[in-house]
Amino acid sequence: MLLWLILIIPGSSTGQQNNLHLTRKYKVGDVYRYRMTTNVVHNDKWQSTIIAVCELKVVLDSNKIPYDEIKWISKKVIKAKDSTEYPEEIKNTSPYRISLHPDGKLDIPPIQESGMTGEITDLNTFFVAISPKLGIGQLHKPHDNFTKPENVKGNFANGKDILKGEDCLEVTAVLQRSTRDQAVVQTDFMPPSVPCLQYLSQEMTKPVAGETINNFQMVRVSANDKVNLFYGSEKFNINSTISSKDGKLQSAYMTNTLFLTLKLNCEKDYTGCQHTMPFTIDRKISLVLLP
């Protein structure tokens, strides 16, 4: 009888693993922190490493829906010749809320400090990758996958140094593997098969990276009332490790690659640009739940 029990228990455990439910289960009052480390490379040359820490606290909104209230704690930028911390940017960034609850929202808050745009939007992207809208509730066993029927459009303009910022991606999530304690989900954000942006200028209809459709465009402030124009192909993937118990994100890793054309010092109608050049951006970002 004892041997029979020993043999049958692992079978029961495996059955539980094959019926995962990775939706987030919140505990009001729970407080935890993440460290996000971003390595930035432009045209194959390392530019910086950015280390930022945020604190999340689980709260309820007026409709009793649980949210993570996010407060940024610190930010440090390391470059070849120096490193700088940004206490004023941290101080001036008000706490804001996002939620993985099916009835919650993952809206990007108003950007109060332009220097925090990357941290806020990247953290948001990590959560979007494991959200109900991208099919996390439909991944129950290894190799289950979900492709969002509609393309995902993003707007990362901040009203300050980024005057316009848009991308459009096709998204697929796959449950790679799972154990009793955790699951690994890969979410791929890829250029779509047909155009899905309203391009800012006609020349942007010509693909920058082979035949891949341009799915990224950005306008940044330049000197003397001019603007810089970036456009081309963007793709990224995120590998997320999630607690099987409560759906909390334990760690994640993002690889983000952009093949762009950069037009410098253009008029505000994107004409009369002084220089045009190819421009690549490679970013590798890790997110770790701190003990």
pLDDT in tens, 77-129: 999 999 999 999 999 999 999 999 999 999 999 999 999 999 999 999 999 99
Q: Output the DSSP codes for 123-169.
A: HHHHHHTTSGGGTGGG--STT-EEE-SSPEEEE---SSSEEEEEEEE
3 state SS of 115: helix
Rounded-to-integer distance, Cα 222 and Cα 7, Å: 69
CATH architecture assigned to 21-289: Roll (2.30)
**Spatial CB neighbours of 176, under 8 Å, sequence gap ≥ 6:** 142, 184, 185, 186, 239
Kindly indicate the confidence band of residue 11, based on its pLDDT and cuts at 50, 70 and 90.
very low
Rounded-to-integer distance, Cα 239 and Cα 252, Å: 5
**Do residues 246 and 24 make contact, with C-beta atoms less than 8 angstroms apart?**
yes
| pLDDT, average across residues 229-246 | 97
Rounded-to-integer distance, Cα 87 and Cα 97, Å: 21
**pLDDT over 70 (residue 7):** no
CA distances from 93 to 3, 122, 129 (A): 60, 15, 24
Q: In 18-156, where does DSSP find H-type helix?
A: 87-91, 117-128
**pLDDT over 50 (residue 206):** yes
Rounded-to-integer distance, Cα 152 and Cα 218, Å: 17
State the pLDDT at residue 100: 98
